[in-house]
A and B are shown apart, each in its own frame.
Chain A
Amino acid sequence: MQAGESIPVRPFRAARFDWQSFFGRGATGVATLLIVAILAVILGNIILHGAGSVSWRFVTTGTAADMFDAGKAGIFPMIFGTTARVLLMTILVMPVGVLTAIYLTEYARLHSPFTRLVRGAVNNLAGVPSIVFGLFGAGFFVQFLGQHMDAVIHGQQAATVWGKPALVWASATLAVMTLPVVIVATEEALRAIPQGLREASLALGATKLQTIFKVVFPQALPGIMTGAILAISRAAGEVAPILFTGAAYYMADLPGSLHDQFMDLGYHVFILSTQSPDVRRTEPLLYATVFVLLVLTFSLNIAAIFVRASIRRKMRMLH
């Protein structure tokens, strides 16, 4: 061995490449990317084909001429019908949902069997298939409630006013369906309010009910709004529950009263994509209708995300 030649030093231990981490990170990252890509493809496709066909005339006129002809048909009656059923649903569902949430957060003990039961029912309701709500609406609201109302109002003449599919029954069915959405969102909003606020109010001599409605409720209002928006966006695109409870294939006039049927945006998408005699001629119309429906539900969704984010920021400062 010559001088100056160094002895080769083996490293104490070679840092081996961590293949498991590499593949794990890779697979999960790719999966995430893939889901985002799916969303992008769906939205991109609809925007690309749909946005161009939407015109002012399209959203403000009816379909009298030819339902399936892209050159003449409009979708105003469907936008009107969907808006009407969703607003009516909001009026029906909000009081029930908010009061239930108030009971769950302000009165019920946190882990009592009864609370568990109510919460279980709420969770379960959230998972009931929408077509089952449709069956329920047809069996309960239309057949049972509607026909009994007819019997009471019109006696034995058996005029069918309420005992058939109608705007009000579609809205009621959707209200039942969106009940869990409202309850969960309101509960979250109520729980986010610091306990100290309630205690301060009670210490000043306010009763529990005064505390709830004058202190807690106003603070929770933005969160409750989020619940309403989420319920609306969920209901706006639903078709299955209204198939037998109120949606009509075609109507010459706009619905004028609660017991009229209505045309609906989502149902119209279904009709256009499955019943058209000439698919090629209908396609631009179909894409445009889907685009309008998507804009409607997405703007609601995004609004809910923003309201919720701003509440969370505010709450973090309060705590």
Chain B
Amino acid sequence: MGLKRGHRARPAEWLTEKLIFAVSLSAILTIVLIFLFIGKEALPVALGRVNSARAQEVIPVAQMETMSPAELQRYLELTPEQYEQMDGETLRTLMELKVEIAGSVSDNKDARVNTASWRHLLLPHQWEGYSEPEYIWQPVSEIHKFNIVPLIVGSLKITLVALVFAVPLSLLAAIYVSQLARPRLREVVKPVIELLAGIPSVVLGFFGLVVLATVVQRLFGTESRLNAFVAGIALGFSVIPVVFSIAEDALTSVPRNYVQAALALGASQWRAAWQVVVPAAVPGLFAAVALGFGRAIGETMIVLMASGNASILSWDLFDSARTITATIAAELGEVVIGSPHYRILFLIGVLLFAVTFITNLAADVVMHRLKERMEGRR
């Protein structure tokens, strides 16, 4: 009987260690699952396999007997639960309703348009009753219009306001706290600013809606009380702590002897900070801004509550605006699961996830490089 090694010596420990390894894959697994499961719901739209035209092939009521339950459920756009609760009589009525709708909208030339195709998701279209081609998001009107451009513009507009407001403020404060403030002051100010991150976004949304909107309207005399500007400023409140703490970390990670060398050459404290530390930390500051952008474009409750949510295409800051996130939050609860509208909401979710994923990745790579440089491994 020789010495046992590896998993034979202590099978329980070997197993536990393998388990720990397996669990450590959870973060990677989650990212993959998010992609898979949001992508899965959006895929039919992305591939153009969804037809949302109002006047579709109508199946005569008489043919109802020959259809399988699954076919019937899909045809009537019902969820499985809804289908379960209905008796034959109700289903027949729904079939008749379907024929009726097809009859009533067939005089609208848009009724045959597949509004869920890429062309209509992205390009303007001259809808009946409009004088020119327009970008319109109206998923619950008679003709379901799914143009996502107004939502993208709304998201970008509000994010821009938030960044213009929050980034300079947070970067300057980060320079002050990390380089200029006395240590005692710093120990107090830093946690206080980070406390801002602890305010739930629904509270910031509430603040924007109840307090900020009134103040802004009084100052600028805006037409709509809730608009992109109000939402942008409220959103800025949630961006400040993100940009501040990452920028502050990046500035603090610059080795102390850089500053000491500058001071020894006769530079003032400010010049050492501005001309030595800041240039050295530029990648970190870039990452801070990138993550701030990711935070701003992905924030939901603040914009849902303070932006007014009108899906009109406009770059005017004082117009009401509707973002991608707010659209998902407001509409997903009411759509029929599996319908074109449902799938398009997941599609804009994928878009949002992709944008933040790339932003985060870029920030992560930049931060990693910076860290290596500061630790002298490059």
The finding on whether chains A and B are genuine partners in a shared complex, rather than unrelated, reads yes
A residues with CB within 8 A of B? 18, 20-21, 24-25, 27-32, 34-36, 38-39, 42, 45-46, 95-96, 99-100, 102-104, 107-108, 116-118, 120-136, 138-140, 143-144, 158, 160, 164, 176, 179-180, 183, 207-209, 233, 236-240, 243-244, 266-267, 269-270, 273-274, 283, 286, 290, 293-294, 297-298, 300-302, 305
Check B150 for interface membership: any CB of A closer than 8 A.
Answer: no
**Docked complex Cα distance between A16 and B297 (Å):** 46
Flag if B41 contacts A139 (CB, 8 Å). yes
Chain B residues with CB below 8 A from A124, complex form: 31, 357, 360-361, 364
Stretch at the interface among B131-139, B190-198, B216-224: B190-198
- Given A21-B270, A103-B24, A131-B298: 9 more A-B contacts, CB < 8 Å: A25-B180, A35-B169, A35-B173, A116-B368, A131-B300, A143-B337, A179-B26, A233-B198, A283-B210
Chain B residues with CB below 8 A from A293, complex form: 200, 202-203
Check B86 for interface membership: any CB of A closer than 8 A.
Answer: no
Check B356 for interface membership: any CB of A closer than 8 A.
Answer: yes
Query: Which residue on A lies nearest to B364, using beta carbons?
Result: A123
**B contact residues, range:** 35 or more
Whether A136 contacts B27 in the complex (CB less than 8 A), given A42-B199, A298-B198, A305-B191, comes out as: no
Flag if A36 contacts B192 (CB, 8 Å). yes
**Docked complex Cα distance between A270 and B305 (Å):** 8
Whether A239 contacts B202 in the complex (CB less than 8 A), given A31-B176, A104-B24, A131-B352, comes out as: yes
Which of A121, A135, A237 is the one whose CB lies under 8 Å from B27? A121
Whether A129 contacts B81 in the complex (CB less than 8 A), given A135-B328, A140-B37, comes out as: no
Whether A127 contacts B295 in the complex (CB less than 8 A), given A29-B180, A237-B201, comes out as: yes
- Nearest-Cβ distance from residue A106 to partner chain B, whole angstroms: 8
- Nearest-Cβ distance from residue A276 to partner chain B, whole angstroms: 11
Query: Which residue on B lies nearest to A139, using beta carbons?
Result: B37
- Nearest-Cβ distance from residue B308 to partner chain A, whole angstroms: 11
Where chain A touches its partner, the secondary structure class is helix
Flag if A46 contacts B329 (CB, 8 Å). no
**Docked complex Cα distance between A35 and B171 (Å):** 11
**Docked complex Cα distance between A209 and B84 (Å):** 53
Flag if B203 contacts A99 (CB, 8 Å). no
Chain A residues with CB below 8 A from B205, complex form: 270, 273
Chain B residues with CB below 8 A from A24, complex form: 270, 273-274
Flag if A35 contacts B361 (CB, 8 Å). no
Check B118 for interface membership: any CB of A closer than 8 A.
Answer: no
Chain A residues with CB below 8 A from B211, complex form: 45
Of listed A21, A46, A131, residue having the most chain B CB within 10 A = A131
Whether A28 contacts B202 in the complex (CB less than 8 A), given A129-B298, A207-B10, comes out as: no
Whether A139 contacts B305 in the complex (CB less than 8 A), given A125-B31, A301-B195, comes out as: no
- Nearest-Cβ distance from residue B270 to partner chain A, whole angstroms: 4
Chain B residues with CB below 8 A from A300, complex form: 198
Chain B residues with CB below 8 A from A297, complex form: 198-200
- Nearest-Cβ distance from residue B193 to partner chain A, whole angstroms: 6
Flag if A290 contacts B193 (CB, 8 Å). no
Check B319 for interface membership: any CB of A closer than 8 A.
Answer: no
Flag if B27 contacts A28 (CB, 8 Å). no
Whether A179 contacts B301 in the complex (CB less than 8 A), given A24-B270, A139-B346, comes out as: no
Flag if B361 contacts A99 (CB, 8 Å). no
Whether A21 contacts B271 in the complex (CB less than 8 A), given A120-B364, A132-B34, comes out as: yes
Whether A132 contacts B349 in the complex (CB less than 8 A), given A32-B177, A158-B84, A243-B333, comes out as: yes
Flag if B38 contacts A135 (CB, 8 Å). yes
Flag if B176 contacts A28 (CB, 8 Å). yes
Flag if A274 contacts B360 (CB, 8 Å). no
Whether A237 contacts B20 in the complex (CB less than 8 A), given A32-B176, A121-B31, comes out as: no
Whether A100 contacts B27 in the complex (CB less than 8 A), given A35-B169, A123-B360, A138-B332, comes out as: yes
Flag if B26 contacts A31 (CB, 8 Å). no
Flag if A209 contacts B189 (CB, 8 Å). no
Chain B residues with CB below 8 A from A31, complex form: 168-170, 172-173, 176
Whether A125 contacts B328 in the complex (CB less than 8 A), given A120-B364, A132-B352, A297-B199, comes out as: no
Flag if B199 contacts A103 (CB, 8 Å). no
Chain B residues with CB below 8 A from A29, complex form: 176, 180
Chain A residues with CB below 8 A from B199, complex form: 42, 237, 294, 297
0 or 1 for each of B3-40: is its CB under 8 Å from A? (1 = yes): 00000001001001101110111111011011001101
Of listed B80, B170, B364, residue having the most chain A CB within 10 A = B364
- Nearest-Cβ distance from residue A22 to partner chain B, whole angstroms: 8
Flag if A209 contacts B17 (CB, 8 Å). yes
Of listed A25, A29, A128, residue having the most chain B CB within 10 A = A128
Flag if B195 contacts A129 (CB, 8 Å). no
Flag if B173 contacts A32 (CB, 8 Å). yes
**Docked complex Cα distance between A298 and B200 (Å):** 10
Whether A140 contacts B24 in the complex (CB less than 8 A), given A21-B270, A28-B180, A301-B198, comes out as: no
Flag if B189 contacts A32 (CB, 8 Å). yes
**Docked complex Cα distance between A45 and B203 (Å):** 12
* Closest 10 A/B residue pairs (Cβ): A237-B200, A129-B298, A28-B176, A103-B24, A31-B172, A127-B360, A21-B270, A301-B198, A240-B300, A99-B23
- Nearest-Cβ distance from residue A272 to partner chain B, whole angstroms: 9
- Cβ contacts A to B, 8 pairs, < 8 Å: A31-B168, A107-B17, A121-B30, A131-B352, A270-B205, A270-B304, A297-B198, A302-B195
Flag if B20 contacts A129 (CB, 8 Å). no
Chain B residues with CB below 8 A from A35, complex form: 169-170, 173, 193, 196, 240, 244
Flag if A130 contacts B202 (CB, 8 Å). no
**Docked complex Cα distance between A130 and B181 (Å):** 34
